[in-house]
Chain A
Amino acid sequence: MNQMSTARATESNTQMVGERTTRISARKVNIYYGEKHAIKDLSIEIPDRSVSAFIGPSGCGKSTFLRAINRMNDTIEGCRLTGEVRLDDKNIYDKDVDVVQLRSHVGMVFQKPNPFPKSIFENVAYGPRIHGLAKNKTDLEEMVVASLKKAGLFEEVKDRLDAPGTGLSGGQQQRLCIARAIAVNPEVILMDEPCSALDPIATARIEELIDELRQNYCIVIVTHSMQQAARVSQLTAFFHLGTLVETGDTNSMFTNPRDKRTQDYITGRFG
């Protein structure tokens, strides 16, 4: 992924979204599942070091587009994409892009926590190991500890790093998955309803974590909870029937949306 690293260094080409630089830029993206036109002519600029929330009713295409950002849709048969999704200045759909490398730059956290059936340590160590990021065992250990700390989990598990990851509580498992995602030093973290399987306390912990992580990462979150989008994000994008209806500063989006469809959706008038 050398081209991508080079592109990242070219500061002169960076665009601004409000006060922030653009990390991801989608242009005229169309996504099809066979005959179904799931995303229609979508263009969006996603800023770095901030949280962008995708909201919209089920089936509106928000998860489909989220998955397009690290080419998770590649594995779905009959799914094709036109247009461009640029990470920094590199189109991630170019032929020379190594998808495995791409996914180390763009991590993903899913709705249901899905730790590997391995120890807590191994869950986090897996990524750095397969990408050859650690020079030696000590280096790897440091990486695991640092990632667990960043994910706000270390204090709770430091005495049982060899215990299975699946033995943790739901909220802890989700933070373990976040630790696993950040262990490979991504620039972007995609989260697909990361709290929908968690209780309010675990949800609050994840939200607190998201708020800390945004200092260093570009975070994109799909959520069905409007309140969560309002709490954690700086930018909100509203999707409806495969179209990006409205994008805007989160504060104004939830107090004074421009589009009637957004207004109706966030006030609970259609769903």
Chain B
Amino acid sequence: MPDHIVKAYDLDIQSLKTMLAEMGGLAEEQLHNAIIALTKRDVTLADLVIVRDEKLDQLERQIEEKAILTIAKRQPMALDLREIMVAIRVAGDIERIGDLAKNTAKRTHAITEPLPRRLSPGLTRMGQMAQAQLKNILDAYSHGDDVKALAVWRADEDLDALYNSIFRELLTYMMEDPRNIGLCTHLLFGAKNLERIGDHTTNIAENTYYLVHGKTIGEDRPKKDVTAMMSTSDLK
């Protein structure tokens, strides 16, 4: 794509991309630290995650302001218009991912007892998967790679499947011993947060596809999260 005749227009769009890259990098780090904080019960790291979330909010506001100003000044068309609209939406998704990471980290404070040994690998695995999804989608978005974006979009199914099994496991622990309920509820929310982060990565995937093709993905996303329909009687 050749440069705009007005050079400042290229700078406007470039600065949006730079801020988004910074936001994405920070969100990845936040998620990484939140998972370690929760699984290792590291409250110092958890506090760091909580404090740094403010930076993500700030970046989102800056991106929004820059995008609105660019629309007002340049009246973008076609690819430029999609680029700017998608930047606003992606910034929104990354900000939400940051909130979910922060919420996960916060729960570290509420957990006093060690994690059930059998459960810990599942959560760690889910955390790794969510991180990989986030990393891949940020790469796909910054390179305008629709194939990679679609792969992320489809792979969310695996995260859902893992969430289902963790959900079932946590329910089992709670049924086994009511003293587990406090811990397991927090872990359940932690797992739910990771599952929601996965959903946000699929939003970014859909927006990346739209950015490249100018149309939406023409199929429904495969979904495997069935926990909304699950009761304790399903565990037998």
Give the interface of B toward A (CB within 8 A). 1-6, 9, 74-82, 213-215
A75 in the interface, Cβ–Cβ < 8 Å? no
Contacts of A257 in B (CB 8 A): 78
Contacts of A255 in B (CB 8 A): 77-78, 81-82, 214
A residues 236-271 with Cβ under 8 Å of B?
252, 254-257, 262-264, 266-271
Residue contact B5 to A271, C-beta cutoff 8 Å: yes
Smallest distance from the beta carbon of B67 to chain A beta carbons, Å?
A: 16
Residue contact A254 to B77, C-beta cutoff 8 Å: yes
Task: Specify which of B6, B77, B215 lies most central, judged by the most chain A CB atoms within 10 Å of its CB.
Answer: B77
Smallest distance from the beta carbon of A83 to chain B beta carbons, Å?
A: 31
> Looking across the interface, which residue of chain B has its beta carbon closest to that of A266?
B77
Contacts of A10 in B (CB 8 A): none
Residue contact A266 to B78, C-beta cutoff 8 Å: yes
A227 in the interface, Cβ–Cβ < 8 Å? yes
Smallest distance from the beta carbon of B7 to chain A beta carbons, Å?
A: 11
A226 in the interface, Cβ–Cβ < 8 Å? yes
B interface: dominant SS: loop
> Looking across the interface, which residue of chain B has its beta carbon closest to that of A253?
B78
Contacts of A269 in B (CB 8 A): 1-5
Smallest distance from the beta carbon of A225 to chain B beta carbons, Å?
A: 9
A residues 76-128 with Cβ under 8 Å of B?
none
A255 to B2, CA, bound (A): 18
Smallest distance from the beta carbon of B146 to chain A beta carbons, Å?
A: 14
> Looking across the interface, which residue of chain B has its beta carbon closest to that of A271?
B5
Contacts of B214 in A (CB 8 A): 252, 255-256
Given contacts A256-B214, A256-B215, is CB(A267)–CB(B80) below 8 Å?
yes
A269 to B74, CA, bound (A): 12
A252 to B1, CA, bound (A): 20
Contacts of A256 in B (CB 8 A): 78, 82, 213-215
> Looking across the interface, which residue of chain B has its beta carbon closest to that of A226?
B77
Question: What are the 6 tightest A-B residue pairs by CB atom distance, in nearest-first order?
Answer: A256-B214, A266-B77, A267-B80, A269-B2, A268-B4, A254-B77
Smallest distance from the beta carbon of A270 to chain B beta carbons, Å?
A: 7
A267 to B81, CA, bound (A): 9
Contacts of B80 in A (CB 8 A): 267
A269 to B214, CA, bound (A): 19
A269 to B4, CA, bound (A): 4
Residue contact A268 to B78, C-beta cutoff 8 Å: no
Additional A-B contact list (14), CB under 8 Å, known A256-B213, A269-B4: A226-B75, A226-B77, A230-B77, A254-B81, A255-B81, A256-B78, A256-B215, A267-B76, A267-B79, A268-B5, A268-B74, A269-B2, A269-B5, A271-B5
Residue contact B75 to A227, C-beta cutoff 8 Å: yes
> Looking across the interface, which residue of chain A has its beta carbon closest to that of B214?
A256
Smallest distance from the beta carbon of B232 to chain A beta carbons, Å?
A: 49
> Looking across the interface, which residue of chain A has its beta carbon closest to that of B80?
A267
Smallest distance from the beta carbon of A55 to chain B beta carbons, Å?
A: 11
8 pairs of residues in contact across A and B, judged by CB atoms under 8 Å:
A230-B77, A254-B78, A255-B81, A256-B215, A266-B77, A266-B78, A268-B6, A269-B3
A262 to B82, CA, bound (A): 15
> Looking across the interface, which residue of chain B has its beta carbon closest to that of A263?
B78
Contacts of B2 in A (CB 8 A): 264, 269-270
Smallest distance from the beta carbon of A81 to chain B beta carbons, Å?
A: 32
Contacts of A264 in B (CB 8 A): 2
Smallest distance from the beta carbon of B12 to chain A beta carbons, Å?
A: 12
> Looking across the interface, which residue of chain A has its beta carbon closest to that of B1?
A269
A231 to B172, CA, bound (A): 60
A88 to B29, CA, bound (A): 66
Smallest distance from the beta carbon of A232 to chain B beta carbons, Å?
A: 15
A268 to B4, CA, bound (A): 6
Contacts of A271 in B (CB 8 A): 5
Contacts of B81 in A (CB 8 A): 254-255
A254 to B78, CA, bound (A): 5
Residue contact B77 to A267, C-beta cutoff 8 Å: yes
Smallest distance from the beta carbon of B4 to chain A beta carbons, Å?
A: 5
Contacts of A254 in B (CB 8 A): 77-78, 81
Contacts of B3 in A (CB 8 A): 269
> Looking across the interface, which residue of chain B has its beta carbon closest to that of A230?
B77
A256 to B78, CA, bound (A): 5
Contacts of B74 in A (CB 8 A): 268
Contacts of B5 in A (CB 8 A): 268-271
